[in-house]
Structure 1
Amino acid sequence: MSPEIRAAEPALLPASEQARIHRRTLTVVVLSQVLGGAGLAAGISVGALLAQDMLGTASLSGLPTGLFTLGSALAAFLVGRSTQRLGRRLGLASGFLAGGLGAFGVVIAAVSGSVVLLFISLFVYGSGTATNLQARYAGTDLAQPHRRGFGTSMAMVATTVGAVAGPNLIEPLGALAEIVGVPTLAGPFLLAAAAYSAAALVLFAFLRPDPFLLARRIVSAAESGTDSTPDGEAPRVGIGAYVGATVMVLTQVVMVAIMTMTPIHMRAHHHDMAAVGLVIGLHVGSMWLPSLFTGALVDRVGRTPMVIASGVILLLAAGLAATAPGDSLGLLILALMLLGVGWNIGLIAGTALVVDATVPQNRPRTQGTIDVLIALAGAGGGAMSGVVVSASSYQALSLGGGVLALALIPVLLWARTRHAVRA
């Protein structure tokens, strides 16, 4: 038995003590997410542009997003499995540390001009993205069922600070990079390397007691040490987990595809890097900041209405991105902010559905598997976005994303009518 859990005995904690530990957990996760947000913003902001410069073509500029989201798929799997055995603290800290090493590798690749090292490093850098998302589950481990949306949202909202600051530091970080002999577009990855490494240190040092290990111990004690399934079988995952996974996968594809090509679209219409940083910074802020409200809404209004709201908002975002003039900074900002809000609602509602449908005995493993699917969906969306834009246009890509977003509604209605999925 872990010393952390032994120290938490008696087996069933008083509600006040469990609430206190939950608040402490959220505080530590919030701090790590501030740092993690700064780390993930680098790849979103300049990854495609760095690849375009090093490869000399825009047709493969979606590859960086594809690579680091593909790397995040492997990381999600490993973090989920390690969390199931070792707890959130070691799983999340290891993921952030790997992300920091990957970011440093991108800087070395840019300095040396090595495309192969760039691709490998972007793949490893994706570990930070996966870990940043996995951290949201730490906010639900000790939360009461009617507060799971809130727990998810608080773990996510802190990402806003770093994620918004990161893109808006593109120019000063680029200037700093040039001073130390690093290509301008690699500057944000210097910040990512430091931020991810610091997030790993915070989690490793302060996420005690481990929220998942403690939650598992509490559930085991409540069941008096007996297995709730016949013949020692592992507990089954409810249908809500599949519905939540579908919601998160669809929202990820739509968001990543449009977001990845927006900097390329803007540069083709002669927007400068400050404008690109502003648009992406506000977009990333819109991905995370609404968590202040959406978590509570998911708990109060229900999972189903919020998923429908996500689909509608994503459709509006895609339609606006497709019809906005390329030189209209204001309309591009609005479109990308709506895109972020729609993604945020879908992710929090989908996460709540997954947590509702799982128990500690299968939760991290299931969460890791689902985040693998989300990452793979993002990888596909990011890699194909450049191909679609090169073969057709940014407008066609955006319209396709809007149509895909509408698929959320029939999937959810089918689940509601055929299965007992929590509203």
Structure 2
Amino acid sequence: MTDTADAPDAHHAAPAPEKTAHCSGPRAASAVAAGDGLRALRRRTTAVLVASQILGGLGVATGVALAAVLAEEVSGSEGLSGLASTSAVVGTALFSLPLATLMAARGRRPGLVLAYSAAALGGAVVVGAAAAGNFPLMLAGMAAFGAGSAANLQSRYAAADLADPDRRARAISTVVWAATIGAVLGPNIAAPAGDSVAALGLGIPVTAGPFLWCSGIFLLAALTVHLLLRPDPLLAARAREAGSAGAGDGEERSLRAGFTAVASSRPARLALATIAGSHTVMVSIMVMTPVDLGHHGIGIELIGLVISGHIAGMYAFSPVMGRLSDRLGRLAVIGLAVVLLGSAAGLAGTADGDHRQSAVGLFLLGLGWSAGLVSGSALLTDSVPQAARAAAQGLSDLTMNAAAGAGGALSGLVVARAGYGWLTALSASLLLPVTLLALHTALRRPSPVRAGDGADAPRGDAQRG
């Protein structure tokens, strides 16, 4: 489909970009979105989101690297150490819907600022709880800390707000790729960050020190978004669509509208299943692979290399997945995600302590996650009306994190009772519903789901359940 909204409004003179680039509010958003400054606004928005994603990813990765270690120190129990990461995942899920509600009502900027600020507060609570030896308070802090991940996830949708339908997946993948920098740097700065805080003599444990740095990093991310993400991309996208289609501004943007939009669109249901399924399979296998390798006598250095390769697969190749999704269609890349994740489960589950085979399997697991997240996120954005997108996107993040949290919690029990091989097999079985939905969607459509299909198309199957 050809997107005609790129052209300036024939009835209005294009405003000077320098007069609107730093303004906020629907009126300024409408002015920029309707004029020649659209391309400049896209570049500016992407740059701000990439910067905030790097900062947010750095904060999340730094904290996650030491969460289990700090939890064991504070609780005095190895068995309780996993609750810290679980609390962060639960916090990410719990923040998803309130964040979506705020964004649906007021735009991306207030929501992202609130989430990063909550994560900063959570980091400070973790530090205080560690100094006081209060484990329940630490878990509460980790739940608020999870808001940083919620903000990072929502940033990918903010990148798609102003993108043309045939470039949405690439816009999403650019922001996802930016997380690579934080994911790589975070664990490496954890030790010096802890030492620097311990040197202040404040009674803060070395393993809690990095969380103080995380709070500062999240505050910087919030400040970056607050000052520079203007005009708001979601408000600008709504103004652009209203101006090009003559739509009013009174459409319902509640969470109920998001649920209804997903329930009434087959491609949207497929997108939701793809995002949640890919994330659950990835988390369930990834969290237990180091344990399985350790049981086979593999050292921490080799385990670290396996996980590093997995992280590289998750983030570094997301631009490739974005380009493929825009060029070949969303369904093609969803199919690729299923193949990659299934192959990864097979390789990892039959490695039997071979760290090289495990490394290949975990790398493919990261690639499959990237393919599923990018193509699924683009398809979801394609398949619901503009007014319901923020709510539907919040629903997708709630679903993916809740499912992955359950998968991660159950994975240890499966390995303890049945073994790692059974875990990978059960994880791979979660791909069956995605496969069936994809086949059903493909067979019911006259042509594959491509960029611009769905809610952006004037007609078609995307709006029929």
Matched, 1:376 2:402: yes
Query: Which digits, 9 at most, give the CA deviation of each residue in 1:160-192, with x for residues without a partner?
Result: 101111133444445556555544544543443
Q: TM-score, normalised by structure 1?
A: 0.88
Matched, 1:205 2:227: yes
Is the 8 Å Cα contact of residues 32 and 41 (structure 2) preserved in structure 1? no
Residue of structure 2 aligned with 1:408, choices 434, 446, 449: 434
Residue of structure 2 aligned with 1:386, choices 398, 407, 412: 412
1:53 CA displacement: 5.2
Quick one: structure 1 residues 278 and 94, their matched pair in 2 at CA, closer, same or farther if it must change by over 3 Å?
Answer: farther
- State the partner residue of 2:186: 166
Q: Point out where structure 2 has 5 or more consecutive residues left out of the alignment.
A: 1-22, 451-465
Number of matched residues?
418
Is the 8 Å Cα contact of residues 26 and 239 (structure 2) preserved in structure 1? yes
Letter in 2 for 1:144: D
Give the whole-Å Cα distance in 1 for the aligned partners of 2:66 and 2:161.
34
Is the 8 Å Cα contact of residues 29 and 235 (structure 2) preserved in structure 1? no
- State the partner residue of 2:152: 132
Give the whole-Å Cα distance in 2 for the aligned partners of 1:225 and 1:414.
32
Residue of structure 1 aligned with 2:344, choices 299, 306, 317: 317
Could you say what secondary structure the match of 1:97 adopts? helix
Quick one: structure 1 residues 158 and 234, their matched pair in 2 at CA, closer, same or farther if it must change by over 3 Å?
Answer: closer
- State the partner residue of 2:392: 366
Letter in 2 for 1:221: G
- State the partner residue of 1:78: 98
1:119 CA displacement: 1.5
Between 1:173-182 and 1:29-38, the stretch displaced more is 173-182
Residue of structure 2 aligned with 1:27, choices 42, 47, 72: 47
Query: Which digits, 9 at most, give the CA deviation of each residue in 1:275-311, with x for residues without a partner?
Result: 5554434423321111121111100011111111111
Q: TM-score, normalised by structure 2?
A: 0.81
Quick one: structure 1 residues 273 and 167, their matched pair in 2 at CA, closer, same or farther if it must change by over 3 Å?
Answer: farther
Q: Point out where structure 1 has 5 or more consecutive residues left out of the alignment.
A: none
Work out which structure has the larger RCO, using CA pairs closer than 8 Å and 6 or more positions apart in sequence. 1
Give the whole-Å Cα distance in 1 for the aligned partners of 2:422 and 2:62.
26
Give the whole-Å Cα distance in 2 for the aligned partners of 1:329 and 1:354.
37
Alignment of 1:4-403 (within 5 A): 4-10=25-31, 13-14=34-35, 16-52=36-72, 54-55=74-75, 60-173=80-193, 175-176=195-196, 179=199, 182-226=204-248, 237=261, 238-268=265-295, 276-326=303-353, 328-403=354-429
Letter in 2 for 1:206: L
Is the 8 Å Cα contact of residues 166 and 188 (structure 1) preserved in structure 2? no
Quick one: structure 1 residues 121 and 3, their matched pair in 2 at CA, closer, same or farther if it must change by over 3 Å?
Answer: closer
Residue of structure 2 aligned with 1:417, choices 443, 448, 456: 443
Give the whole-Å Cα distance in 2 for the aligned partners of 1:199 and 1:115.
28
Give the whole-Å Cα distance in 2 for the aligned partners of 1:42 and 1:397.
28
Give the whole-Å Cα distance in 1 for the aligned partners of 2:423 and 2:290.
14
Quick one: structure 1 residues 149 and 330, their matched pair in 2 at CA, closer, same or farther if it must change by over 3 Å?
Answer: same
1:132 CA displacement: 0.5
Letter in 1 for 2:147: S
Could you say what secondary structure the match of 1:208 adopts? coil
